[in-house]
Structure 1
Amino acid sequence: MSFQILWLCRIILIVTFISHGSSFPDQVGYYSFMKDATFAPMFARFDYIVIGGGTSGCALAATLSQNATVLVLERGGSPHDTPTATDIGNFATTLSNTSPKSWSQLFVSEDGVYNTRARVLGGGSVLNAGFYTRAGDDYVKEADWMSDEVEAAYEWVEKKVAFKPPMLGWQTALKDGLLEVGEFPYNGFTYDHINGTKIGGTIFDDAGQRHTAANLLEYSNPNSIAVYLHATVHKILFTTKGRPRPKSYGVIFQDANGVLHKAELAKNTMNEVILSAGAIGSPQLLMLSGVGPMAHLVAHGIKPVVLDHPMVGQGMADNPMNAIFIPSPTSVEVSLIQVVGITKFDSYIEGASGVIFSYSWTRNFFDGVLNYLNEISRTTTSTSLSTQSITDFFKSINPLLNATIKAGLILQKVAGPVSRGHLELRNINPNDNPSVRFNYYQEAEDLEKCVEGISTIIKVINSKAFSKFKYPEATIHGLLDLIRSVPTNLRPRHATSVLNLKQFCIDTVMSIWHYHGGCQVGRVVDKNYKVLGIHGLRVIDGSTFLKSPGTNPQATIMMLGRYMGQKILRERDAFHNRNEET
């Protein structure tokens, strides 16, 4: 009987893959078109070369493959290699695993704030807290996107990755607490970005299994796409021969064995190289390829300088996050972001519960920090970071970090923000992190939003609706001191006897991993995401954003990949039709 059931399950699996239009998994990769880069030919030609199989790159490549040949070069591995690592209960462990071959690459900004970059097929959607929500109507209008096509693109994404969350006790208390303190109206379950309190979507299904941008590759035409994993692009290739401006024509990438491969665009005017390497990777790779501020490139010995493009790496921003940790007298469910209060003062209130912050998790993360600091000390003469802060941390581990099933946190994320920074090369190794400064709370406007957000969180914690999950004797000052005692960043702490929320925001700022900018629209790319001054090169990812969309950008980044993929194919068809007519 068990043998029959096994074969029935196998048949269902095969039918499922066929019905989704994707190829059945083989022994090399999850899809037949997915291979390790060591299997890549030394030379190949494609209509489109997509650098980065992340949140935007997967959607873009799957769409382009419907009517063109596409190469995807992803520097990391596949989330399908270790499926349980993406389960909701392993969120903290997977995110904090910063070993050299892990999916999460640690970087510390020059502000002294820990952050991560994804290096895995599916990008940040493999590591994040899973919240799924669209951009607001005003954002779509400002981006000059066609609203009906945006709607269709979101729906295309949602068929594969979006779900309604279960909403158990702790998240329900957060929702009710937000309403009790006046964050109206209540908008129920919706993907839309509208003021008030709502239940958003999640990319975790009912079983707690994560669905990522990599799942969008199920839409691909398997005969027209090649995805190479552990493929690190070293540079984009340009030609100026007989042209008034440079034209991209290919890339050089390296496999895990250190072998260099070359891929070029097939001979067609419409073919392009498309950067989808994220807000850190895209400006970094442009610079490494000779496109960026000339003086900076020359200082790093980059030759030739293809184009003096001073705005590459500028306009970097990261939405600052501050959180209050709340030990609970009763057990809580394991939940990531499900509820959000979208306030009128541009701070978003969200929460999570039951996420494991064990000693082993913390030790693993801070080992990564130490390794990172030791690495940058070898590649730069000065840094604003100090290993002493990490050493001090181990002398006084706080019991907070062992909290598992009886704790939650409520956070605020500043929308915008107005404060801006920049990105520069640290060296010319594409595997290393560049130097990034976000200038958190440099502008008073951002700091005021944080203060209002923390004030709202305090009201929620003290609300009747949330009382079940707060110890009666716990004071707000005590809870603020609790988070101050944890090394959430490398910044100094300023303990005060009075409730100084501005200082609390400055001292305890963290990243919510929504950093953006570096290749912004109107500054580095035009509204069609073509790099200004260069032919045959686009950037389609979060590096082009002037501000982060919605309360979480992942839905919009996936949508953008689909939206622009369809637009590019329409342009391609129109070009070919004109040529046929003439």
Structure 2
Amino acid sequence: MEPSHFDIVIVGAGSAGCVLAARLSEDETCRVLLLEAGGAAKAPLIAAPGAAKFFWDTELDWAFRSEPQRHLNGRRILLNRGKCIGGSGTINWSAYVRGNRGDYDHWAQLGCTGWGYDDVLPFFRKSECNAIHDDEWHGREGPLHVGEYNGRHPLHEMYFEALEDLGVPRNLDLNGARQEGCGYHQGTLLNGVRFTTANGFLEPALDRPNLTVESFAHVTGLVVDKGRVTGVDYAVGRTAKRTMADAEVILAAGAIGSPHILLLSGIGPADEIAAHGIAPVHDLTGVGRHLRDHLARPSIEIMVKDPEAMGLGKAMPDPDTAKEMFEKHRTGPLSTMQIEAGAFARLRESDEYSSAQLFCAATSAERFRDMPPGLSIWGYVCRPRSEGTVKLATGSPFDRPAIDPNYFDDPDDLDRSVEIVEFCREVANHKVFDEVRAGLRGAFGTREEIVAEARDVASTCWHYTSTCRMGTDDEAVVGPDLRVKGLDGLRVCDASIMPTIVSGNTNAATIMIAEKGADLIRAGASSQTTSASSEGRIPRRL
């Protein structure tokens, strides 16, 4: 079978890939192919934020497993990743959290020119259609709808009052002038319904004749010819296919998928690749290294005296009733992911920026079977130091990679996690809850008890980053232009390029990376275009 030909081939139709496909196909002279291993996310209730967990470990989820975690009592952690059009944005918590100025200015300090906060803010604004804020920090004209969660509760306001008394100021916009403070989270939502980059970016672009989307395309490797990536091999069912990229291939398969594809293609640590029977093509030691993730739990549960009076005693409805409540009224247990309220706090005087992201959830009987009615409080370390790896488990592209997040490898992560639990306990014991508090669950008396519980229950926040990290040092995989070092015709543009993890949920930052990446690709095309009439078009070969 003769290979197909496109100008740009994008691997992965997740949060980044949908943005890239839409933005790059705006140039009608650029032929774009978007490859996705899954299909369209058409499952019932996929739009319900509170139904996301129903799709974990299903055909819509890669459902990776970690290697046994030596600091978590040898547990294997389920590492969810979306396997569908829209990617992880289809099965995540819909949280829209940008991180703070310090995150991005640190990237610039590490040598990533053009990635400081003032550089990336325009790209956050470009993508955003914010229903709440209209100011210098937000956009109102972008394709991505951002709103607030349903489900506010009086316990949230008590939580904020306790935090303010403990030194965490009220903040009406956690994505605005400053991140630090307590307030209501924003989400990728439109009128209470999940809204992904597939909805906002890709769907409006599907009628363009220069954009092709191929689903159920499992990428098996990259085509490399004399130091240049020229195409992509993939399988659709039992059929092997190849497509050639006359300009560039862009990996947007995420912090697990992108390094795995590179390794399968012979790009990465040569000795590790050769050990699996794959001929090394380009020795790049940083591929699959420096994996970072946020690790959450344990939590403190505030049990209330009178759940009925607090509106928390209503019994959990049967699935059909819950479905009807959401579809007709946008209410009930499926209407929210229970992360409406939270905070960013500096728990040490030496912290310049937020060191902990905190959450609270009003735990009604309607929503939770295994938790007492009341308020659940938990959090995680914003900038964990522990680093893990994504490696080949076998040389087969159809086998899962070996993923070791290496949680709690750095002792500071464990120390800070203990501080977060202790702070949450202080919040839960605050006098503002005295009239409603019946007791606490998971209060943990000593540091040793907190550590033991953390090793038993702490788990991923699904914020995998940095496995193809951007930088100028020898371990960096891509430069500030997102080109893979030492190879032509290949870029990586997803969460894997983050030099360090941002302070908060990573989906918003991933969308920003794709917006900026699309501009970088078009700028590169413009710089190589000599004809004034074709300025801004992407040439067949960069």
CA-based RMSD of the aligned residues comes to: 2.7
After TM superposition, give the deviation of residue 533 of structure 1 in Å. Answer: 0.9
Question: Does structure 1 residue 72 correspond to structure 2 residue 34?
Answer: yes
Corresponding residue number in structure 1 for 2:15: 55
Query: One-letter code of the match for 2:46?
Result: A
Query: Larger helix proportion, structure 1 or 2?
Result: 1
Relative to structure 1, is the Cα distance of residues 223 and 405 closer, same or farther in structure 2, using a 3 angstrom cutoff?
farther
Determine if contact 1:131/1:338 at 8 Å carries over to the other structure: no
| Identity between Structure 1 and Structure 2 (%) | 24
Corresponding residue number in structure 2 for 1:371: none
Relative to the length of structure 1, the TM-score reads 0.74
Determine if contact 2:295/2:460 at 8 Å carries over to the other structure: yes
- Cα-to-partner distance string for 1:252-309 (whole Å, 9 max, x where unaligned): 1111x3111111013xxxx110111111111111000110111111111113x11111
Relative to structure 1, is the Cα distance of residues 324 and 531 closer, same or farther in structure 2, using a 3 angstrom cutoff?
same
Question: 512, 515, 519: which is aligned to 2:468?
Answer: 519
Corresponding residue number in structure 1 for 2:322: none
Determine if contact 2:183/2:343 at 8 Å carries over to the other structure: yes
Relative to structure 1, is the Cα distance of residues 93 and 464 closer, same or farther in structure 2, using a 3 angstrom cutoff?
farther
After TM superposition, give the deviation of residue 338 of structure 1 in Å. Answer: 2.5
CA distance in 2: counterparts of 1:448 and 1:123, whole angstroms: 33
- SS of 2:21's partner is helix
Corresponding residue number in structure 1 for 2:158: 173
- SS of 1:84's partner is coil
Determine if contact 1:92/1:355 at 8 Å carries over to the other structure: no
Matches for 1:356-371 after TM superposition, within 5 Å: none
Question: Does structure 1 residue 571 correspond to structure 2 residue 524?
Answer: yes
CA distance in 2: counterparts of 1:466 and 1:576, whole angstroms: 65
Corresponding residue number in structure 2 for 1:506: 455
- Cα-to-partner distance string for 1:323-345 (whole Å, 9 max, x where unaligned): 31525552447543222321113
Corresponding residue number in structure 2 for 1:158: 128
Question: 423, 434, 437: which is aligned to 2:404?
Answer: 437
Determine if contact 1:130/1:337 at 8 Å carries over to the other structure: no
Relative to structure 1, is the Cα distance of residues 467 and 119 closer, same or farther in structure 2, using a 3 angstrom cutoff?
farther
CA distance in 2: counterparts of 1:349 and 1:497, whole angstroms: 21
Corresponding residue number in structure 1 for 2:52: 91
Query: One-letter code of the match for 2:224?
Result: F
- Cα-to-partner distance string for 1:151-200 (whole Å, 9 max, x where unaligned): 332223222231133433343333333223321x2111342352122322
Question: 71, 74, 82: which is aligned to 1:118?
Answer: 82
Matches for 1:331-370 after TM superposition, within 5 Å: 331-332=311-312, 334=333, 335=336, 336-345=338-347, 346-354=355-363
After TM superposition, give the deviation of residue 512 of structure 1 in Å. Answer: 0.7
After TM superposition, give the deviation of residue 537 of structure 1 in Å. Answer: 0.5
CA distance in 1: counterparts of 2:244 and 2:214, whole angstroms: 15
Determine if contact 1:180/1:465 at 8 Å carries over to the other structure: no
Query: One-letter code of the match for 2:250?
Result: I
Relative to structure 1, is the Cα distance of residues 254 and 178 closer, same or farther in structure 2, using a 3 angstrom cutoff?
same
* Larger CA deviation: 160-169 vs 446-455: 160-169
Matches for 1:253-268 after TM superposition, within 5 Å: 253-255=234-236, 257-266=237-246
Relative to structure 1, is the Cα distance of residues 556 and 64 closer, same or farther in structure 2, using a 3 angstrom cutoff?
same
* Larger CA deviation: 281-290 vs 548-557: 548-557
Corresponding residue number in structure 1 for 2:216: 230
Question: 267, 284, 289: which is aligned to 1:309?
Answer: 284
Relative to structure 1, is the Cα distance of residues 357 and 430 closer, same or farther in structure 2, using a 3 angstrom cutoff?
farther
Question: 251, 273, 276: which is aligned to 2:232?
Answer: 251
CA distance in 1: counterparts of 2:505 and 2:411, whole angstroms: 23
Determine if contact 2:158/2:433 at 8 Å carries over to the other structure: yes
Corresponding residue number in structure 2 for 1:323: 298
After TM superposition, give the deviation of residue 579 of structure 1 in Å. Answer: 8.8
Corresponding residue number in structure 1 for 2:195: 211
CA distance in 2: counterparts of 1:549 and 1:462, whole angstroms: 30
- SS of 2:290's partner is strand
Relative to structure 1, is the Cα distance of residues 302 and 533 closer, same or farther in structure 2, using a 3 angstrom cutoff?
same
Corresponding residue number in structure 2 for 1:452: 419
Query: One-letter code of the match for 1:501?
Result: I
Question: Does structure 1 residue 537 correspond to structure 2 residue 494?
Answer: no
CA distance in 1: counterparts of 2:521 and 2:365, whole angstroms: 44
- SS of 2:222's partner is strand
Relative to structure 1, is the Cα distance of residues 574 and 497 closer, same or farther in structure 2, using a 3 angstrom cutoff?
closer
* Larger CA deviation: 427-436 vs 324-333: 324-333
CA distance in 1: counterparts of 2:163 and 2:479, whole angstroms: 40
Matches for 1:280-295 after TM superposition, within 5 Å: 280-295=256-271
Determine if contact 1:354/1:407 at 8 Å carries over to the other structure: yes
Relative to structure 1, is the Cα distance of residues 171 and 577 closer, same or farther in structure 2, using a 3 angstrom cutoff?
farther
- Cα-to-partner distance string for 1:461-516 (whole Å, 9 max, x where unaligned): 2224445764x2x24xx4257xxxxxxxxxxxxxx988632333333221111121
List alignment gaps of at least 5 residues for structure 2: 70-74, 108-113, 130-143, 313-331, 348-354, 535-542
Relative to the length of structure 2, the TM-score reads 0.79
